[in-house]
Structure 1
Amino acid sequence: MAPVDLNLLAPEQRHDHAAAIGSPIIDARHVAVKFKVEGGMVDAVKDVSFQLYRGETIAVVGESGSGKSVTARTVMGLLTKRATVSERSSIDYDGRNVLKFSDRQRRALRGNRISMIFQEPMSSLNPVYTIGAQIIEAIRVHQKLSRKQATERTLELLRQVQIPDPEARLNQYPHQLSGGQRQRIMIAMALANNPDVLIADEPTTALDVTVQAQILNLIRDLQKTLGMAVILITHDLTVVRQFSDYVYVMQNGEVKEHNTTAALFENPQHPYTRHLLNSEPRGNANPMPADSAAILEGRSVRVSFMLKAGGFFKPQLKELVAVDSLSLKLHRHETLGLVGESGSGKTTFGQALVKLLRAEGGEILFDGEPIQDKTRDEMRPLRSRMQIVFQDPFSSLNPRMSVGQIIEEGLVVNRLGATRNERLERVRDALNSAGLPSNILSRFPHEFSGGQRQRIAIARAIALEPEFILLDEPTSALDLSVQAQIIELLRKLQDEKGLSYLFISHDLKVVRALCHRVVVMQHGKIVEEGPVEDVLSHPKTAYTERLVRAAFEVAA
């Protein structure tokens, strides 16, 4: 077979332009953006061209730092003052180059004809204004409507995005809504003025699989109803395959390959595209010894919280049972998955089992020894044997401490290593085991990527040579290829060091690749458990079936 000329995989025009009806609503050519940083300029986007036609969805995929979001922000005119757009760049909207627009023309276009949904709704919604006030403002900035008319339109939008009890939501604040509801509010704001183009920047990254499926299906239904064109920015290839018509693959600020979705998935040409497609979590957990003893056991564990309801003068206390008398057994050398939607009690159960939260009922045994009544001081000798890796390494690593100090701190606290040199040796060994070079000891967390920070968090845990690690959503914020590396690393460490993992996640693809058994939770109860392949291939409850369908088909 003749070698493929990689330069021909991403021409200026789309491969299907001859079959397209009409001209593109957005035609971007030679988009290049530089950012001024300390010590010079960084090329964030280099010579990117793409076309979007009315009523279709194009997907822009790639890892963090590939330039996807910067490209979208260039279209919207939302770049910082440090950014410089190349003179050669052009972005035509309906035949007019928006890069030549005045600030006033740009504002009239933004949020009116072209709208954007951002990745993190909590940082995009103003916490001091009610939901109603924020949507009404988005409408009245662009339309000459009275407050009453704008309120009616707001209620109509909330119904359109399927927010329950929209009248009550008008006077609520963002923190009073769930993640999925906040994302629906962002969609309602984006649709307020019936835009021609909707840019969705990682709209479902932080959401559960079932909520993700609902949000994506909602965008698709609204697109059909309103005839919008959609630019979907994501690193989730299952989503791309299901929802897009045409795909652009970006790496290091450049488009490496583009094609229709069907053609790109059936026959990827560029090595990077093939790498991305092969990065989906694959494989299964390595077999565990048949006669493994239990290392961690929970028997009828119960955790509840008292919530305040009612007014200031007549407060009412209401009990929320987060973990409802649950039992669980984890064996040595085993990975047990704990899955369920947000609010199902997974993390609370996990933290109760390692005594980070107080369980008010039941028994917890670690290596056969009851620990539920142990005090903080009595738990200290056991702490080096049980470790935790949290979801967000950026908030769990101290930004003022160097990598060396972060990893050594646990050794000092637990009095491991007789001398400083001995401790540093263990720190270097832990970094090497986590796939990191040992010459990064003096660097700080902000100098690393998300995947590298998660490896530092894993190195910190394994430096103490534990027997058990609680992994709380350790891959949810990571790109697919980085996810695959972390899964491989966890498998390798389990084999080398005989570790046992309790793996909390809502990503069933990762659970299938890493876990031996799985426990499914809903509303503080266990609804199903068993070997991972049995539960995910033949779910016995409707809830598990819905989770599986949402994860593997994105069609809940």
Structure 2
Amino acid sequence: MIFSQDSKNPADSTLHAPAERRDLDMRTEQPILDARRVAVRFKVEGGEVEAVKNVSFQLYRGETIAIVGESGSGKSVTARTIMGLLGKRAKVDKGAAIAFNGENVLAFPERRRRALRGNRISMIFQEPMSSLNPVYTIGSQIVEAIRVHQRLSGAQARARALDLLKKVQIPDPEARLDQYPHQLSGGQRQRIMIAMALANDPDILIADEPTTALDVTVQAQILNLIRDLQKSLGMAVILITHDLTVVRQFSDYVYVMAQGEVREHNATEALFADPQHPYTRHLLASEPRGRANPLQDGAAPVLEGRDVRVAFTLKHGGFFRPQFKQLVAVDNLSLTLRRGETLGLVGESGSGKTTFGQALVKLTRADAGEILFDGMPIQDRTREEMRPLRARMQIVFQDPFSSLNPRMSIGQIIEEGLVVNGLGATREERQVRVRAALEAAGMPGHILQRFPHEFSGGQRQRIAIARAIALEPEFILLDEPTSALDLSVQAQIIELLRKLQAERGLSYLFISHDLKVVRALCHRVAVMQHGQIVEEGPVEEILSRPKTAYTERLVRAAFEVAA
């Protein structure tokens, strides 16, 4: 099914987003993927929501197109429509068509559609923890993805899986094959997802925020890896992202989406050099700005860690001849966070940032060291003894989908913490606090009856932030809180966190690999590598005049590449 050049679409009449590409006259071949009039509606309480409205785009073999836009713009729904992975509430318009090699995949029976998925068309999902099965090892999941589509023995598939882990630069790949998803960092889990997506050398790779969980240096390595594989295999790539730096570096053509519609599209350099639509100009102008609020002199410590050590035992080999190796994730670290201060904890994925942060709030057991909260030793407290302090210390996790209960509504998720901690005399009073927290986090207050799966990744992260601030804590551990958010929403969240800090004297331990956000939000920064703090000091001093080669490499990857 090849579409004619004169196909009509309501978008044809728009100035900035016609149905066909602006470089069509330069193309002699047919597109490998040609989507026309794609429209998707979701049934919701009280009616329907149009998530995607008459979207058209073309993809040619061997190139990368980027679909960009803010969270909730319809980027991921468009990708899932191609893959046939929409939920039961979704309804694709009858006039829609998506041609893969000339055939409309929307008309395929489910069995034929399934044969395409993970084989000819593959996808890297945004949230690796919710995409990986927690009860199976990494190796068994990659082997399954290979053997479903290739006639290989178990040993051959395992060898292929090991080779894939090496290609995506997983440290100690032989040991990782026998580990489970929860034993890996967020960035390492995302690399596992990339390995699985590339397992069968697909014709089209859909990368939905593929580097969201990765630090800046590994982000460049992974994107270069995808580009190298693209060149060697002739693979086409659809890159869905909110990172405009990545778009400019790695895409050939850009589609800008907002509120389910394509607002503008053009060749990458042309779009960045001369954006036409006001929304595109808004996106290109969005970047974390400002600096942390001034810190009061002599502020008392709210959280202290002294010589904290955390080690894990890794298992190698088979069942009958196991070998064990100790991994020191946090190597005798000390840290002091003062009241009203934001301390950034940065480093590459696997450096121990999250483990250290979770040890400080007693979510991970420390093997040694002392931890004090508001001057009280807490390292030896039991789970029950920690309960009275939980309302005073809150956490926003990196992966919002895995931290939000899928069986509870948004209202129940946020209200649960209020109920457990005895905040709010009546249900009506708690509902008022829930709505206020949602609105403070940039979400409407009328979504209380909806469920986590009905929101985009960025929207889910804002809901997670609303859950934390609803309890009005004194300290919040922020573990990559803006990694799933587009640039303009990042700026809103930074402003929100600054405002809450100024009004309530909040203290933040901010774990991140995004040094632009760290510069805009933090007073001090500690740089971690291999379980150790290699450099610590005021944020401007560390980012402007790094003393170690490792920190200099992080800063260069974050700022100079973006220039």
Q: What is residue 470 of structure 1 aligned with on the other side? A: 477
Contact persistence 1:236–1:480 (CA under 8 A): yes
Establish whether residue 386 from structure 1 lines up as the match of residue 393 from structure 2.
yes
C-alpha separation between the residues in 2 aligned to 1:153 and 1:301? 38
C-alpha separation between the residues in 2 aligned to 1:296 and 1:467? 10
Which runs of structure 2 are paired with 1:385-534 in the superposition (5 Å)? Answer: 385-396=392-403, 419-420=425-426, 424=430, 427=433, 431=437, 434-435=440-441, 443=449, 446=452, 454-455=461-462, 457-534=464-541
Tell me how far 1:219 sits from its aligned partner. 0.9
Contact persistence 1:122–1:174 (CA under 8 A): no
C-alpha separation between the residues in 2 aligned to 1:492 and 1:135? 49
Q: What is residue 258 of structure 1 aligned with on the other side? A: 265
Instruction: Say which is worse superposed, 376-385 or 129-138, in terms of deviation.
Output: 376-385
Tell me how far 1:336 sits from its aligned partner. 0.4
Q: What is residue 284 of structure 2 aligned with on the other side? A: 277
C-alpha separation between the residues in 2 aligned to 1:13 and 1:376? 59
Q: Deviations over 1:28-68 (max 9, x none)?
A: 33333445666655433322222223332111112343332
Establish whether residue 535 from structure 1 lines up as the match of residue 542 from structure 2.
yes
Q: Does the C-alpha gap of structure 1 residues 95 and 550 become closer, same or farther in structure 2, counting only changes over 3 Å?
A: same
Q: What is the one-letter code of the residue matched to 1:348?
A: T
Q: What is residue 337 of structure 2 aligned with on the other side? A: 330
Q: What is residue 29 of structure 1 aligned with on the other side? A: 36
Contact persistence 1:131–1:169 (CA under 8 A): no
Q: Deviations over 1:78-137 (max 9, x none)?
A: 556765544544444455555566667766766665444444566667748463453244
Which runs of structure 2 are paired with 1:145-164 in the superposition (5 Å)? Answer: 154=160, 158=164, 161=167
Establish whether residue 139 from structure 1 lines up as the match of residue 168 from structure 2.
no
Q: What is the one-letter code of the residue matched to 2:142?
A: I
Q: What is residue 3 of structure 2 aligned with on the other side? A: none
Tell me how far 1:337 sits from its aligned partner. 0.5
C-alpha separation between the residues in 2 aligned to 1:390 and 1:110? 30
Q: Deviations over 1:411-455 (max 9, x none)?
A: 6665667x5499649836963883579965964664766556555
Instruction: Say which is worse superposed, 272-281 or 55-64, in terms of deviation.
Output: 272-281
Give aligned-pair identity as a percent.
Answer: 70
Contact persistence 1:24–1:53 (CA under 8 A): yes
Contact persistence 1:385–1:466 (CA under 8 A): yes
Establish whether residue 179 from structure 1 lines up as the match of residue 185 from structure 2.
no
C-alpha separation between the residues in 2 aligned to 1:65 and 1:325? 42
Pick from 45, 48, 57 the counterpart of residue 50 of structure 1: 57
C-alpha separation between the residues in 2 aligned to 1:379 and 1:148? 47
Pick from 189, 199, 203 the counterpart of residue 199 of structure 2: 189
Q: What is residue 349 of structure 1 aligned with on the other side? A: 356
Which runs of structure 2 are paired with 1:275-314 in the superposition (5 Å)? Answer: 275-306=282-313
2:340 is paired with a residue whose SS is coil
C-alpha separation between the residues in 2 aligned to 1:19 and 1:92? 20
Tell me how far 1:474 sits from its aligned partner. 2.2
C-alpha separation between the residues in 2 aligned to 1:167 and 1:363? 33
Q: Does the C-alpha gap of structure 1 residues 111 and 542 become closer, same or farther in structure 2, counting only changes over 3 Å?
A: same
Pick from 241, 251, 258 the counterpart of residue 244 of structure 1: 251
Q: What is residue 328 of structure 2 aligned with on the other side? A: 321
Q: Deviations over 1:148-192 (max 9, x none)?
A: 997699489749935679996997577487425413422432416
Q: What is the one-letter code of the residue matched to 2:36?
A: R
1:543 is paired with a residue whose SS is helix
Q: What is residue 211 of structure 2 aligned with on the other side? A: 204
Q: Does the C-alpha gap of structure 1 residues 219 and 499 become closer, same or farther in structure 2, counting only changes over 3 Å?
A: same
Q: TM-score by structure 1 length? A: 0.80
Contact persistence 1:472–1:503 (CA under 8 A): yes
C-alpha separation between the residues in 1 aligned to 2:47 and 2:335? 55
Q: What is the one-letter code of the residue matched to 2:167?
A: V
Contact persistence 1:131–1:174 (CA under 8 A): no
Contact persistence 1:238–1:553 (CA under 8 A): no
Q: What is the one-letter code of the residue matched to 1:131?
A: I
Contact persistence 2:242–2:485 (CA under 8 A): no
C-alpha separation between the residues in 2 aligned to 1:537 and 1:507? 15
Contact persistence 2:130–2:401 (CA under 8 A): no
C-alpha separation between the residues in 2 aligned to 1:152 and 1:403? 41
C-alpha separation between the residues in 2 aligned to 1:37 and 1:459? 22
Tell me how far 1:516 sits from its aligned partner. 1.2
Tell me how far 1:349 sits from its aligned partner. 2.0
Instruction: Say which is worse superposed, 517-526 or 406-415, in terms of deviation.
Output: 406-415
Where do 5+ consecutive residues of structure 2 fail to align?
A: 1-11
Tell me how far 1:8 sits from its aligned partner. 0.1
- Aligned alpha-carbon RMSD (Å): 4.3
2:543 is paired with a residue whose SS is helix
Q: What is the one-letter code of the residue matched to 1:341?
A: E
Q: Does the C-alpha gap of structure 1 residues 402 and 427 become closer, same or farther in structure 2, counting only changes over 3 Å?
A: farther
Contact persistence 1:31–1:47 (CA under 8 A): yes
Contact persistence 2:342–2:510 (CA under 8 A): yes
Tell me how far 1:479 sits from its aligned partner. 3.5
Q: Deviations over 1:184-216 (max 9, x none)?
A: 422432416xx3x33323323333433332221
C-alpha separation between the residues in 2 aligned to 1:414 and 1:173? 36
Contact persistence 2:74–2:260 (CA under 8 A): yes
Contact persistence 2:39–2:93 (CA under 8 A): yes
2:238 is paired with a residue whose SS is strand
Instruction: Say which is worse superposed, 213-222 or 536-545, in terms of deviation.
Output: 536-545
Q: What is residue 143 of structure 1 aligned with on the other side? A: none
Tell me how far 1:503 sits from its aligned partner. 1.0
C-alpha separation between the residues in 1 aligned to 2:95 and 2:159? 41
1:139 is paired with a residue whose SS is coil
Q: Does the C-alpha gap of structure 1 residues 369 and 220 become closer, same or farther in structure 2, counting only changes over 3 Å?
A: same
Pick from 74, 78, 81 the counterpart of residue 71 of structure 1: 78
